[in-house]
Amino acid sequence: MPELPEVQTTVNGLKNSLVGLKIKDIWTDLAVKKPKRKDYNDTLKSVVFFKKFKKNVINHKIIGSSRRAKNVLIHLANSSTKHRADSKTILIHMKMTGHLLYGKYKKVGDKWQPAEIGPLQDPYNRFIHAVFTLSNGKHLVFCDTRKFGKITLLDSPIEKSPHLSSLGPEPLDKDFNLVKFSDRLFKRPNGLIKIVLMDQVIIAGIGNIYSDEILWMAGIHPEERVKNIPKIKIKEIFKAMKIILKKGIDFGGDSMSDYRNLLGEKGNFQHHHNAYRRKGEHCKKRGCNGIILRKVVGSRSAHYCSKHQKIVIRL
């Protein structure tokens, strides 16, 4: 589930809790000799990579954390004071069901569990597949029900890495303005607006929940083709994008499903949905008496108002 606001919430937690600590050990049950997919070869799902990863990460100090698209980045201090280019960055992509947790953990048999009573014991915080032991005796834990998540290591400069190089601009960057936004969308003039908004090459960080909410606010049908959207409506989408993503961050992310923050607690954006997962309910837009519909668009489920999000008829 994690989209830009959820990843940002996790990164904010990492900045608060982890900076200055050293990584003392790493455990995972994901690594196998022969990964099923080529793209797993440089992730913790490969035994060979895991060995290399440990060598590069253990005893290194965490100096910061940041977000790029839906990726969590954990920046490590240089391994050598002589070679600046040595600095490494851990990249974690949570995909569908991953999240990072921080606290006291203990290993019981071949499973890890929280050592103390609290939010880390939430049922969705089981399924632990990687554990970083830190120099203060606490742990950074990666739990991921469906095991789609990706953990890898980047050399600097990180933007050159194939894991990041094809990503579009950050929607919340101050200098990402309406003209740039429009230029990005029109790289896919025939694309359906919902699918284009979620295309990480066009713009980074938007997924299914936030695209539904953005289009609801802008009053655009998810299957509208980019080339058919009038300029004034492009501006509405742009404004809605900035507002909705910031609101997501302000509410600490969306925990309608399994997302939890670094301390294992729920976010609150799910209480403020206007479209996502509201099928059959009344539209909340003032003066609108539409009903929220659900339709599969590009093999994703789209939610939109029957009345104020209609396809524009062009003559």
Q: What is the DSSP string of 54-99?
A: HHHHTTPBEEEEEEETTEEEEEE--S-SS-GGG-EEEEEE-TTTEE
298 belongs to the binding site for DNA (CB under 7 A): yes
| C-beta separation of 247 from 272 below 8 A | yes
Tell me, yes or no, if 300 is annotated catalytic.
yes
| C-beta separation of 256 from 284 below 8 A | no
> From CA 50, how far away is CA 105, in angstroms rounded?
21
224 belongs to the binding site for DNA (CB under 7 A): no
Q: Closer CB to DNA, residue 27 or residue 59? A: 27
**Structure tokens that stand for 68 in this block:** 């790029």
300 belongs to the binding site for DNA (CB under 7 A): yes
| C-beta separation of 222 from 211 below 8 A | yes
264 belongs to the binding site for DNA (CB under 7 A): no
Q: How far is the CB of 9 from DNA (least distance, A)?
A: 13
Whether the link from the prior residue into 157 is cis, omega within 30° of 0, is: yes
Amino acid identity, residue 24?
K
Number of residues that bind DNA (CB under 7 A): 42
Catalytic residue among 70, 88, 150, 260: 70
> Of 19, 63, 77, 96, which lies in the binding site for DNA, with binding defined by CB under 7 A?
96
Q: What number of CA atoms fall less than 13 Å from residue 166's CA on the CB side?
A: 5
256 belongs to the binding site for DNA (CB under 7 A): yes
Q: What number of CA atoms fall less than 13 Å from residue 186's CA on the CB side?
A: 12
Q: Closer CB to DNA, residue 134 or residue 204? A: 204
Tell me, yes or no, if 3 is annotated catalytic.
yes
Sign of CA dihedral 170, 8, 256, 139: positive
Of 158, 141, 114, the closest CA to residue 13 belongs to 141
281 belongs to the binding site for DNA (CB under 7 A): no
Q: How far is the CB of 171 from DNA (least distance, A)?
A: 13
> Of 13, 103, 171, 191, which lies in the binding site for DNA, with binding defined by CB under 7 A?
191
According to CB under 7 A, which residues from 5 to 44 bind DNA?
36-39
Binding mask 158-187 for DNA (x = CB under 7 A): -----x-----------------------x
Tell me, yes or no, if 294 is annotated catalytic.
no
| C-beta separation of 129 from 30 below 8 A | yes
- Cite the active site residues: 2-3, 70, 300
Instruction: Give residues in contact with DNA (CB under 7 A).
Output: 1-3, 36-39, 69-70, 93, 95-97, 123, 127, 145-148, 163, 187-188, 190-192, 195, 198, 200, 207-209, 254-259, 294, 298-301
